[in-house]
């Protein structure tokens, strides 16, 4: 069997900060409705759509998550439920499942804006990139549209309701019901709202579709389909390189009704890949005579994808495996409100790990995330739903599936199809519909919608009920069978399914807490401790999952396994397995990085396999174990070197070499019998010739002495949105990190910046993110400093009661 899926690209809607702007011509404008929003929570009074007295309402900027400021409360969305995905058969009380943050309830947002009188007679569109949830939209007191799915993008034609040259009042009602999610969904207008004005004879919204059906080093055939609102206009398309220089130009010659179809040749194209994320731009210009009516820019990349039985996945003709992670949509201490700086930081951390792919879990991704994946070089598995017609939670998406699923999928594809990063669609995750004939029919129905809207990419489903999908035919009908865990069933599924390949659509679900180590060091499932933490020796997982090494074996040894998406790249709010029934515990332990974005030890285990450009040598645990003198304290090294020697206070504890005796011996170097004594622990790595090539040390630290600040960027943009993420840690008088201190720190920002949030990565902390104080967790935390819209300098000062304080200067500019 061979399936070939050449590439598609995305209609770029340029992102701006200002409230009024021109996109590319005087005919089309796009405004981000960012400022001037009024917000009121806890009211379902429909008269708010018409009663414009909002003086008592809170002023906010959008994107906005009303719930992230808390407080945490175990009574919020407390659920008595049996989590079937976790193998539970009896309901029990779950207190932190949705993050214990106050996302439940109804709220109103209101904004007043004007458009020039000269726009009378133009078409005006409101686009919502995401609104949580069930938004009802009113303009000047009249309901103009609604949408149910909080993760989807939708737009409303408000041409007949807009008042040109006058003030217009936009009101949005949102309703988040309890028991509507399995994780923290956030609340509010958490993605951008766009006001688009264009000529009535124009290019349709999301009306450009670009594919490259023929790709080689010598040339590429670029096919551009453009839907117009009317016939009779002339369409000219220019293709620009990544420096804005003209590559080719073409005037459309063939129209099918209101749709133009162009085929343009690019000689010696630069191909898009994670290693070389080259982007072209298509500029579509619509004329009536010599008058320019509309202009749309579309960024795209030239690349081909194929999925072949036995061979697996190929990008641009080269076989490769997905080195991917799953990501929920929250941004830790920022909640779900989209922020490009936070998204970019996440992706850069993953890039250094060697990650090359993202799975949006379990919902439709933001446009900003996809843009960044295009630019930085990440392949993307775009997912749709966590529920179909059968429920996982009482008020989940199943309520809307029958009437909304098709239009939700259509909007996903049309809004994002031109992103080169997207290489596969997922129509669902662990849906209960995996059982029985009705579920098979739903899987087929959804897959055919994707094929109709986008014939160039395959469709998968994250399946956890593998035996059931083998029996029913569910797995056999999918383009790509995706297995969530169930490594022990890989061989059986491969033989049963006809596609000749499997995808690890969700793998590992290993749990750990950054800087926390438990003894004895043994593999364990569903292990819990009195402090509600998990061991960072990376040998603990869930009843239904496994440790990373089990997946590594399948990925390395089986060519028909086409890659994996690890659960998860970063910790996220909610779903605190294995402490679902424990309080306080309000966020996950699955991440390779904690909720603050600080890498855990497990990050370096994956880096030692995935990052083939840079060496990795990481030593664990820390070496501050007062009271464990003389006790067995195993030492691990995660490295891409094959052997290393361990020294404690200058004495060799032997050389360890990787072997295939066990999965752990194959991927980790382990000294299991080390007896703790204070001092210096050092590991020296050797190359294949036996030459010492790298070393790493851990030193027993003395009394905590001073604070150290390390910003990810010292210069940020003065747009009121950009953020510098400053890691605060503590060292002793000799500069040695103090990994066990939990002292409270206080923060102050002066100048042209402001304190935005703080996070320490502790899943049990009930301290609020928006307060300028927090305790360290395992010796670290991260402070978020946000710019204002004025250029200048800012100073972050950090103090601790018994510590020498620290400060760092940051600047912002245009």
CATH number of the domain to which 446 belongs: 3.20.20.80
The mean per-residue pLDDT over the stretch 715-736 comes to 98
Catalytic pick from 368, 506, 575, 696? 506
Specify whether 591 is located in the same domain as 499: yes
Residue 47 confidence (pLDDT) above 90: no
pLDDT at position 663: 95
DSSP β-ladder status, 357-360 and 379-383: parallel
Contact 314, 277 (CB under 8 A): no
Kindly state whether residues 228 and 153 are assigned to the same domain: no
Here the tokens at position 319 are 């076989």
pLDDT of 680 above 80: yes
Examine residue 618 and state whether it is found in any structural domain, yes or no.
no
Cα–Cα distance for residue pair 251/501, rounded to 1 Å:
42
Helix (H) / strand (E) containing 328? none
Beta bridge partner(s), residue 707: 730
- Of 615, 580, 633, which is closest to residue 763 (Cα–Cα)? 580
CA angle (726 as vertex; 723, 728 as ends), nearest 5: 160
**What integer pLDDT is reported at residue 83 of this predicted model?**
76
**529: exposed, middle or buried (C-beta count within 10 Å: 0-12, 13-18, 19+)?**
middle
- Are 534 and 477 in a shared domain? yes
Hey, what are 373's tokens? 């994946």
Residue 326, C-beta contacts closer than 8 angstroms, at least 6 positions apart: 358, 359, 361, 506, 565, 566, 567, 568, 569
How many structural domains compose the chain? 5
How many whole angstroms from its chain centre is CA 3? 28
DSSP state of 378: -
Q: Find the mean pLDDT for residues 490-506.
A: 97
Residue 198 has pLDDT above 80, yes or no: yes
pLDDT one-digit tens code per residue, 333-383:
999 999 999 999 999 999 999 999 999 999 999 999 999 999 999 999 999
Q: What is the pTM of this model?
A: 0.95
151 φ/ψ angles, rounded to the nearest 5 degrees? -95, -5
Return the CATH number at 59.
2.60.120.260
Question: Which pLDDT belongs to residue 134?
Answer: 98
On whether both 453 and 352 belong to a single domain, the answer is yes
Q: Is residue 95 part of a domain?
A: no
Measured CA to CA, the distance from residue 562 to residue 430 in angstroms comes to 20
Cis peptide before 6 (omega within 30 of 0): no
pLDDT tens sequence across 223-270: 999 999 998 899 999 999 999 999 999 999 989 999 999 999 999 999
Can you give the pLDDT at residue 254?
86
Residue 709 has pLDDT above 80, yes or no: yes
Main-chain phi, psi angles of 441, to 5 degrees:
-65, -40
Distance of CA 156 to the CA centre of its chain: 27
- Residues 624-639 as b or e (16 or more Cβ within 10 Å = b): bbeeeeeeebbbbbbb
DSSP-derived pairing of the beta strands 715-717 and 803-813: parallel
CATH code for the domain in which residue 779 is found: 2.60.40.10
Burial class (CB in 10 A: 0-12, 13-18, 19+), 437: exposed
Instruction: Please give the pLDDT value at position 52.
Output: 67
Q: DSSP assignment of 479-513, as one string?
A: SEEEEES-GGGHHHHHHHSTTS-EEEEEEE-B---
Q: What's the full length of the chain, in residues?
A: 814
453 labelled catalytic: no
3-state secondary structure of 150: coil
Residues 206 and 295 in one domain: yes
Tokens 């990994």 — which residue?
739
Non-local (6+) Cβ contacts of 693 within 8 A are: 615, 641, 685, 686, 687
Rounded to whole angstroms, how far apart are CA atoms 332 and 68?
9
For residues 686 and 695, give the distance between their C-alpha atoms in angstroms, rounded to a whole number.
9
**Is the same domain home to 578 and 669?**
no
Same domain, 573 and 467: yes
Kindly report the average pLDDT of the chain as a whole number: 94
Q: What b-and-e string marks burial along 63-96, b requiring 16 or more CB atoms within 10 Å of the CB?
A: bbbbbbebebebebbbbebebebeeeeeeeebbb
**pLDDT tens digit sequence for 543-562:** 999 999 999 999 999 999 99
Let me know if residue 22 belongs to a domain: no
Directed axis angle between helix 367-376 and helix 340-353, to 10°? 40
Which residues on neighbouring strands pair with residue 266, listed in sequence order? Answer: 220
CA–CA separation, 247 and 703 (whole Å): 63
Which of the listed residues 676, 699, 722 is the one where a domain comes to its end? 699
Cα angle value 582/594/373 (rounded, 5°): 130
Mean pLDDT score, 12-17: 27
Pairing type for strands 422-429 and 459-463 reads parallel
Q: Other CB atoms closer than 10 Å to residue 552's CB: what's the count?
A: 20
First-to-last alpha carbon distance for the chain, in angstroms, is 53
Classify residue 92: in a domain, yes or no. no
Q: Is 73 a domain residue?
A: no
What is the reported pLDDT for 26? 59
Element (H, E) at 111: strand 105-114
> How much is the pLDDT for 11?
28
430 annotated active-site: yes
Selected catalytic residue, list 30, 134, 368, 430? 430
* 664 shares its domain with 726: no
Q: Is the pLDDT of residue 18 over 90?
A: no
Task: Determine if the peptide bond prior to 362 is cis (ω within 30°).
Answer: yes
Q: Provide mean pLDDT across the span 73-90.
A: 82
Does 140 fall in a domain? yes
Distance CA 601, CA 621 (A): 9
Phi, psi of 15 (to 5 degrees): -100, 125
**Residue 495: burial class (beta carbons within 10 Å; 0-12, 13-18, 19+):** exposed
The pLDDT-based confidence of 459 (bands split at 50, 70, 90) is very high
Q: Does 556 share its domain with 499? A: yes
Cβ distance 762 to 711 under 8 Å?
no
CB atoms within 10 A of CB 805: 13
Over residues 423-427, mean pLDDT: 98
Specify if 262 maps to a domain.
Answer: yes
Burial 438-466 (b: 16+ CB within 10 A, else e): ebbebbeebbebbeebbebbbbbbbbbbb
**Above 80 in pLDDT, residue 445?**
yes
Alpha carbon distance 552, 643 (integer Å):
18
- Quick one: pLDDT at residue 492? 97
Q: For residue 53, count other CB atoms closer than 10 A to its CB.
A: 7
Q: Which domain holds residue 631?
A: 625-699
pLDDT of residue 386: 98
Cα dihedral: 117, 122, 128, 134 (round 10): 90
Q: Does the pLDDT of residue 4 top 70, yes or no? A: no
Per the listing, tokens 């004495």 go with 651
Tokens at 795, concatenated? 């100073």
Measured CA to CA, the distance from residue 33 to residue 17 in angstroms comes to: 9
Q: Which of 563, 605, 502 is nearest to 320 (CA)?
A: 563
Looking at 661, 682, 699, the residue that finishes a domain is: 699
- Regarding whether 450 and 351 lie in a shared domain, the answer is yes
Candidates 622, 592, 619, 551; CA nearest to 349 is 592
Reduced to 3 states, what is the DSSP secondary structure of residue 746?
strand
CA 26 to chain centre: 35
Say how far apart CA 335 and CA 124 lie, in whole Å.
31
Q: What is the spatial distance between Cα 564 and Cα 552, in angstroms, rounded to a whole number?
A: 9
Is 789:719 a contact under the CB 8 Å cutoff? Answer: yes
Phi and psi at residue 202, to the nearest 5°: -160, 180
| Residues 663 and 537 placed together within one structural domain of the fold | no
Predicted local distance difference test score (pLDDT) of residue 51:
67
Of 582, 610, 638, the last residue of a domain is 610
- Read off the pLDDT of residues 633-677 as tens digits, 9 standing for 90 and up: 999 999 999 999 999 999 999 999 999 999 999 999 999 999 999
Furthest-apart CA pair in the chain: how many Å?
Answer: 88
Same domain, 459 and 551: yes
Q: Does some domain include residue 527?
A: yes
Q: Do 314 and 458 form a contact (C-beta atoms < 8 A)?
A: no
* CA 101 to the chain's CA centroid: 20
* pLDDT at site 13: 28
pLDDT tens, position by position, 135-166:
999 999 999 999 999 999 999 999 999 999 99
């Amino acid at each position: 069997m061979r399936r070939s899926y050449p590439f598609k690209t995305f209609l770029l809607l340029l992102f701006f900060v200002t409230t009024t702007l021109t996109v590319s011509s005087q005919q089309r404008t796009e405004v981000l409705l960012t400022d001037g929003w009024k917000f009121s929570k806890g009211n379902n009074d429909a008269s708010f759509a018409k009663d414009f007295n909002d003086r008592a309402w809170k002023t906010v900027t959008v994107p906005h998550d009303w719930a992230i400021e808390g407080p945490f409360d175990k009574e919020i969305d407390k659920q008595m439920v049996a989590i079937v995905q976790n193998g539970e058969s009896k309901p029990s009380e779950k207190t932190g499942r949705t993050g214990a943050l106050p996302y439940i309830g109804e709220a109103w947002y209101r904004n007043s804006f004007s458009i020039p009188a000269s726009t009378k007679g133009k078409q005006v569109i409101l686009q919502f990139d995401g609104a949580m949830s069930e938004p009802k939209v009113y303009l000047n007191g009249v309901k103009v549209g609604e949408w149910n799915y909080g993760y989807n993008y939708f737009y409303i034609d408000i041409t007949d309701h807009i008042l040109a040259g006058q003030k217009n009042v936009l009101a949005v009602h949102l309703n988040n019901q309890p028991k509507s999610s399995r994780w923290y969904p956030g609340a509010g207008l958490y993605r951008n709202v766009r006001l688009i004005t264009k000529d009535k004879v124009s290019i349709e919204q999301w009306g450009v579709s670009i594919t490259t059906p023929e790709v080689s080093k010598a040339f590429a055939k670029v096919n551009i389909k453009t839907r117009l609102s009317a016939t009779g206009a002339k369409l000219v398309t220019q293709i620009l390189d990544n420096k804005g220089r003209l590559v080719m130009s073409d005037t459309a010659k063939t129209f099918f009704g209101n749709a133009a179809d162009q085929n343009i040749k690019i000689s010696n194209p630069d191909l898009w890949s994670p290693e070389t994320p080259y982007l072209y731009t298509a500029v579509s210009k619509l004329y009536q005579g010599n008058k320019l009516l509309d202009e749309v820019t579309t960024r795209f990349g030239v690349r081909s994808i194929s999925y072949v039985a036995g061979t697996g996945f190929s990008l641009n003709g080269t076989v490769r495996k997905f080195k991917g992670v799953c990501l929920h949509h929250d941004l830790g201490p920022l909640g779900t409100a989209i922020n490009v700086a936070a998204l970019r930081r996440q992706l850069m951390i993953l890039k250094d790990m060697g990650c090359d792919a993202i799975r949006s879990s379990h919902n439709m991704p933001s446009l900003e995330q996809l843009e960044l994946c295009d630019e930085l070089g990440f392949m993307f598995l775009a997912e749709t739903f966590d529920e179909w017609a059968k429920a996982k939670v009482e008020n989940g998406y199943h309520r809307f599936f029958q009437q909304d699923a098709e239009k939700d999928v259509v909007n996903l594809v049309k809004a994002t199809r031109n992103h080169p990063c997207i290489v596969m669609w997922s129509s669902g995750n662990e849906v209960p519909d995996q059982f029985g004939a009705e579920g098979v029919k739903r899987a087929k129905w959804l897959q055919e919608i994707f094929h109709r809207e986008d014939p160039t990419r395959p469709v998968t489903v994250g399946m956890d009920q593998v035996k059931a999908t083998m029996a029913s035919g569910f797995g056999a009908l999918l383009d790509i069978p995706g297995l969530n865990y169930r490594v022990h069933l890989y061989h059986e599924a491969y033989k049963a399914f006809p596609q000749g390949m499997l995808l690890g659509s969700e793998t590992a679900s290993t749990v750990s807490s950054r800087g926390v180590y438990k003894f004895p060091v043994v593999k364990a499932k569903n292990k819990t401790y009195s402090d509600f933490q998990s061991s960072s020796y990376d040998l603990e997982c869930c009843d239904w999952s496994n440790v990373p090494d089990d997946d590594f074996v399948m990925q390395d040894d089986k060519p028909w396994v086409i890659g994996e998406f690890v659960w998860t790249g970063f910790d996220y709010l909610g779903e605190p397995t294995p402490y679902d029934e424990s309080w306080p515990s309000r966020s996950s332990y699955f991440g390779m990085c904690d909720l603050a974005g600080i890498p855990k030890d497990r990050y370096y285990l994956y880096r030692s396999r995935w990052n083939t450009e840079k060496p990795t040598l990481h030593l664990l645990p820390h070496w501050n174990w007062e009271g464990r003198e003389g006790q067995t304290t195993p030492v691990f090294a995660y490295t891409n070197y094959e052997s290393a020697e361990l020294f404690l206070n200058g004495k060799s504890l032997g050389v360890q070499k990787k072997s295939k005796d066990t999965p752990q011996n194959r991927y980790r170097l382990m000294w299991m019998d080390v007896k703790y004594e204070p001092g210096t622990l050092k590991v020296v790595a050797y190359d294949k010739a036996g030459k010492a090539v790298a070393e790493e040390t851990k030193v027993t630290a003395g009394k905590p002495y001073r604070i150290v600040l390390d910003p990810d960027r010292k210069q940020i943009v003065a747009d009121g949105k950009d953020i510098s993420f400053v890691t605060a840690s503590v060292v002793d008088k000799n500069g040695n990190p103090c990994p066990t201190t939990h002292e409270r720190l206080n923060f102050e920002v002066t100048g042209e910046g402001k304190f935005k949030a703080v996070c320490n990565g502790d899943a049990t902390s009930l301290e609020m993110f928006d307060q300028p104080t927090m305790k360290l967790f395992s010796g670290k935390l991260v402070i978020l400093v946000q710019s204002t819209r004025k250029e200048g300098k800012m100073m972050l000062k950090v103090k601790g009661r018994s510590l020498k304080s620290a400060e760092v200067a940051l600047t912002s500019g245009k």
